[in-house]
Amino acid sequence: MANRVPIREGAFMESPAGGILLANKCKSCGEVFFPKAVFCLSCFNEDMEDLRLSRKGKLYSYTIGLMASMHFEPPYAIGYVVLPEGVRIFAPLEIVESKPFRIDMEMEVIIDKLWQEDDNEVIGYKFKPV
Ligand SMILES: [Zn+2]
């Protein structure tokens, strides 16, 4: 039985509605950070509040990898998705044949196995076309 190991502790959770990314927000200037920042990197305030990010955003940029990488078999896609809270998130993208990538298309977060490491399934977040 494989263990499910999160790629980063405390960065995401699974909910009945699907995957949710966990960020935080500066109580002083409102800047949002994902992954969470210990203090605001914009105004250096230390008073931060937790924030669950929206599940859907827009594709900002992407690329298709055609060379084998350490963990991903080609072709694989990676890119940036901008969420309504104003954060731009770099993540693997799920390739869906019927929904080719277009800049600004709607994407949603999914929590999924990224790769296998011995007996561990490394679990992380991805985005897929809506
Ligand atoms: Zn701030």
pLDDT at position 1 is 63
- Domain total for the chain? 1
Per-residue confidence of the chain (130 residues) as pLDDT tens digits? 679 999 999 999 999 989 999 999 999 999 999 999 999 999 999 999 999 999 999 999 999 999 988 888 899 999 999 999 999 999 999 999 999 999 999 999 999 999 998 899 999 999 999 9
- Ligand 1 centroid–CA 34 distance in Å is 14
Kindly list the protein residues that place their beta carbon closer than 5 angstroms to ligand 1, a single-atom ion.
Answer: 26, 28-29, 31, 40, 42-43, 45
| Distance from the alpha carbon of residue 23 to the mean position of ligand 1, in angstroms | 14
Predicted pLDDT at 73 = 87
Ligand 1 geometric centre to CA of 118 (Å): 41
If you count DSSP H runs as helices and E runs as strands, how many of each does the chain have, helices first? Answer: 0, 10
Q: What pLDDT shows up at residue 72?
A: 87
C-beta atoms surrounding 39 within 10 Å = 13
CB neighbourhood size of 112 (10 A): 14
Q: Are strands 3-6 and 120-129 parallel, antiparallel or unpaired?
A: parallel
The tokens describing 56, both together, are 């859907």
Predicted pLDDT at 23: 98
Distance from Cα 70 to the centre of ligand 1, integer Å:
37
Q: At 47, which amino acid appears?
A: D
Note the pLDDT of residue 129.
Answer: 98
Give me the domain span that covers residue 97: 3-129
At residue 92, the pLDDT reads 96
CA of 46 relative to ligand 1 center, distance in Å: 8
